[in-house]
Amino acid sequence: MNDPEGLRDKLTRSSEDALGKIAQDLLENQFVNGAISRAFEARERAVQAQEAAMGALNIPSAADVERLTRRLRSVSQRLEGIEDGVDRLDQRLEALNRPALSGAEERLGGIESQLTKLSAELGALASALDSPPAHVPREQERLEVDASSRTAASKPKPKPKPKPRAKPKTAARKKS
């Protein structure tokens, strides 16, 4: 009893051997073998009866639910594949349309801004044409002049002759 590990190993081996021998004897026994096979057959008949009863009540069996689950997963995977394909196609179409649209959109934006400016200018001109002339204060009114003074006023006046300039003294320069 000095070695507790050795004793435990011996007991484990001997009990495993004994259980294996008993299991082998039971499987070789015709009576036990027949009982086991009849139990499995009864289990199979019970499962079939349960499926028939559930089918009559229109309740799905576990096998039906499992089959439906597998089918649903398959459809879901296919749908994800289709969605991925549609996304890739959408990205390609955007990439193809982006350069053409960006240039056209820029030009349209420029045209719209020019039209806005022109509309504002036309509106200002139209309102200026429709409005009556602004009232001029009395101090700024033009006076009527007769025809004789009008012709005299329209003649150009002669320019005065320029005065001759004095020449600088050259003697002051010669001293230096």
pTM for this model (two decimals): 0.33
Give 66's DSSP letter: H
Question: Residue 167 has what pLDDT?
Answer: 63
Are 63 and 51 in contact by the 8 Å Cβ rule? The answer is: yes
The number of helices, as runs of H, and strands, as runs of E, in the chain is 5, 0
Q: Which residue has the higher pLDDT, 22 or 138?
A: 22
Nearest-angstrom CA–CA distance, 61 and 58: 9
**Looking at the predicted structure, is the pLDDT value of residue 176 above 50?**
no
Question: Residue 79 has what pLDDT?
Answer: 95
Residues 70-101 as b or e (16 or more Cβ within 10 Å = b): eeeeeeeeeeeeeeeeeeeeeeeeeeeeeeee
Q: What are the sequence ranges of the domains in the chain?
A: 9-124
Give 170's DSSP letter: S
- Percent of the chain at pLDDT above 70? 74
**Looking at the predicted structure, is the pLDDT value of residue 104 above 60?**
yes
